[in-house]
Amino acid sequence: MPSQVYVCDASEANDLKRLMEYDPYLDKNLNEQQLADLKDNDDANTIFARQDYSIKDGISINLDSQKYYLYISASEEFLARAEKKLKANIKSIKRADKETEDKVINLVEGERQQSEEGIGSIFG
């Protein structure tokens, strides 16, 4: 699956985290009619919580300490809708430049590989 990286100001990190974690189908505050209305709503069905994503603060990955970085891996179709939803909800968010994107993707994928190898050695 393709991966993309976005960057936003640290002041919006909590808003980004809430957006990424929200799944309207698990929202107990929505009634049956509201849930039924979601079915044909592309924006509402752009659910980040069901995708592969990771949020990193800049200082922990040796990048800008005033920024947060969002790694997301999903289908091309989802990524096209995702950018629109991200920009509508997080004012400062933008796609990372190619160098930054490559660095974050390599970091996240490297962490995952190390984690998988560690678990493999435990259960070998």
Using CA atoms, how far apart are residues 84 and 81, in angstroms rounded to an integer? 5
Residue 116 confidence (pLDDT) above 70: no
Q: 95 in helix, strand or coil? A: strand
Q: What is the pLDDT of residue 70?
A: 98
Residue 49 confidence (pLDDT) above 90: yes
Residue 5 DSSP class: E
Q: E strands within 1-124?
A: 3-9, 52-57, 67-73, 94-95
Residue 40 confidence (pLDDT) above 90: no
Q: pLDDT averaged over the chain?
A: 92
Residue 118 confidence (pLDDT) above 90: no
